[in-house]
Structure 1
Amino acid sequence: MFKVHFSVVLATLFTLPVYSQETQSTLQTVLSNAPTIINLSANHPNTLATPAIKDLDASPESDLIRYGRLLIIDTYKQLPNNVNNKLNCSSCHLNEGRVAKAAPYVGMNVVYPKFRSRNAKINTIEDRINGCFQRSMNGQPLATDSVQMQAIVGYMNFLSLNIKSKDDLQGTTGFVTINKELIPNADNGKTLYAQHCASCHQLDGQGLYPNNTYMFPAVAGNQSFNDGAGMARTYTAAAFIKGNMPLGQEGMLTDQQAVDIAYYFSHLERPVFANKANDWPQGGAPKDVRR
């Protein structure tokens, strides 16, 4: 079987730190003991074609990529010092970050660095990842030069091996377009949530974790994202819902239904992001930003 000799192309994507033999051995141990994660979005119809993890070779570089994937799909257990809830990166970045219109990681190598108005700065991909750790994971940032950060970036770059420019993205990034002029109806959202969402995420939004194993993520409460996260914004959450939910019935909801559901669950009790008052320092904050 053909194996991707990732070390051959690695230099064109990012600078790999020099790891000690001890670090390499630790990575191998972590990977050999990695839990089996059920990928509920594996059959998502909008999954992008990417290089396959199974085709990686046995090099240390490939182990780093495998470790990055593990951190994406088992985040809160693998990184307990950085995650203060029970979410994984793949809770939103579906099918291991490979689903179009579910904020895929494919193409991040040509998207970043870029200017983001939320902090009015040029952000690197590491900045963007740490923003997710502080907001979506309600936690603490990774050290930029850490093995964990380099593994996550390496995994994203591996998925993006065939992406050479923004022209190759073909509109796959971000979420679907949603009508932001729609007025949310919280009462209707509560009803629709009970009909279409509660069987997985539970009526109280606390998610489903049978026997302390991850199944369906919390969308409310202390185990969910904080109010500074993108998913705490009505129209951002609605765009995700519209394109991706319910799993197996993607696209069945109207814009209005998605907006109503998003408003309802995003405004349920959740952690507060202490620094959100500093967002959009140059103005222009979207109307659904939490205050």
Structure 2
Amino acid sequence: MLFPRIRVGEAFIAALLLVAFDQALARPHLVAGQATKQRVPFRVPSDAELRDSVYRASALRGRAILLATRDSLPRNVGNSLRCASCHIDGGLRRDAMPWVGSYVRFPQYRPRSGKVDLIEDRINDCFRRSMNGRALDATGRDMRDIVTYLAFLSSGIPVGAEMEGQGFPRLEAMKGDAGRGIAVFRSTCVRCHGANGEGTQLAPALWGRRSYNVGAGMARINTAASFIHALMPIDRAQILTPQQAFDVATYVNTRPRPDFPAKVRDWPRGGKPADADYHVLPTSPQEKSR
């Protein structure tokens, strides 16, 4: 076989280009799901930074939908919750599931779906599960405006970076007691959520047909307990002990609530958390034979 002659200088340059190309492909910060170790401070951008009139209109409409979700999209919301029911202070408070920085963490592999999700997938998860409703058109105006607002809230944050204050503090798992949880609920939660968890003008329903369904993240006791401990009651957060938080979360999440039939397809690659208290389809030959 004949090979064309390549001068040493040309070969050296070609080798450098190949190495540079390989390194560029390997840079983790180019993919949101492969987060860098960079940690950035929590910062909420000012509305004054929304200078372009078209972008501003889209972002502000997206914010309005997130703050008044049921009123804005009654066909897509099936209960009394809105996006800001769980994302405290309109998604702008650190350590309270803020929307700030969320946009740059997608695309992201999520074990529950077993695939790489876009931010539109994550938003529709909330509509279908937490709000017990119907998914938005992923290419429609409503979704576009919501995503625009989330993108604005992530202004200046590098793709894949870890932001201070993202999510909320997590507790170590412990056993909750629903009997003790009733007492905690009556003394701490009734004034906002109602004696029967039906919700009030101040706060959403915690169980029943107007609450989140069994496929929602908040239906998991560990998640709910951590949220309650860190952020509830809304005006006196962190007055409950971790044990009290697990007790009241156990009580709330053992009350009746809407089903989510598609839950059986969750965690298709395995790894279902212990507090996801529902059956999913088997993921291995051993499980399928049981």
Q: Normalising by structure 1, what TM-score?
A: 0.78
CA deviations on 1:201-255 (whole Å, 9 max, x unpaired) are: 011111103xxxxx31111111110010000110001111111111121122111
- Residue 168 to residue 117, structure 1, CA distance change in 2 (3 Å): closer
CA deviations on 1:82-115 (whole Å, 9 max, x unpaired) are: 1111111000011111122222111112211111
Aligned pairs for 1:1-291 (under 5 A) are 49-53=43-47, 56-57=50-51, 59-167=53-161, 169-170=163-164, 172-180=165-173, 182-209=174-201, 215-291=202-278
Matched position secondary structure for 1:197: helix
> How far is 1:175 from its partner?
2.0
> How far is 1:167 from its partner?
4.0
Output the amino acid matched with 1:189. G
Contact 1:228/1:290, CA 8 A, preserved across alignment: no
Q: Distance in 2 between matches of 1:128 and 1:271?
A: 20
Aligned to 1:11: none
> How far is 1:53 from its partner?
3.2
Matched position secondary structure for 1:63: helix
**How large is the Cα RMSD of the aligned pairs?**
1.5
Q: Distance in 2 between matches of 1:266 and 1:190?
A: 12
Q: Distance in 2 between matches of 1:108 and 1:55?
A: 18
Matched position secondary structure for 1:135: helix
* Runs (5+) with no aligned partner, structure 1: 1-47, 210-214
Corresponding residue pairs, total? 237
Contact 2:96/2:231, CA 8 A, preserved across alignment: yes
CA deviations on 1:180-208 (whole Å, 9 max, x unpaired) are: 1x111101111101111110001111110
- Residue 242 to residue 166, structure 1, CA distance change in 2 (3 Å): farther
Q: Which has the larger radius of gyration?
A: 2
Matched position secondary structure for 1:275: helix
Q: Distance in 1 between matches of 2:268 and 2:182?
A: 34
> How far is 1:263 from its partner?
1.0
Q: Distance in 1 between matches of 2:43 and 2:188?
A: 29
Output the amino acid matched with 2:222. Y
Output the amino acid matched with 1:208. T
% identical aligned pairs = 40
Q: Distance in 1 between matches of 2:171 and 2:178?
A: 17
Contact 1:242/1:255, CA 8 A, preserved across alignment: yes
* Runs (5+) with no aligned partner, structure 2: 1-41, 279-290
Q: Normalising by structure 2, what TM-score?
A: 0.78
Q: Distance in 2 between matches of 1:101 and 1:264?
A: 24
Q: Distance in 1 between matches of 2:127 and 2:160?
A: 26
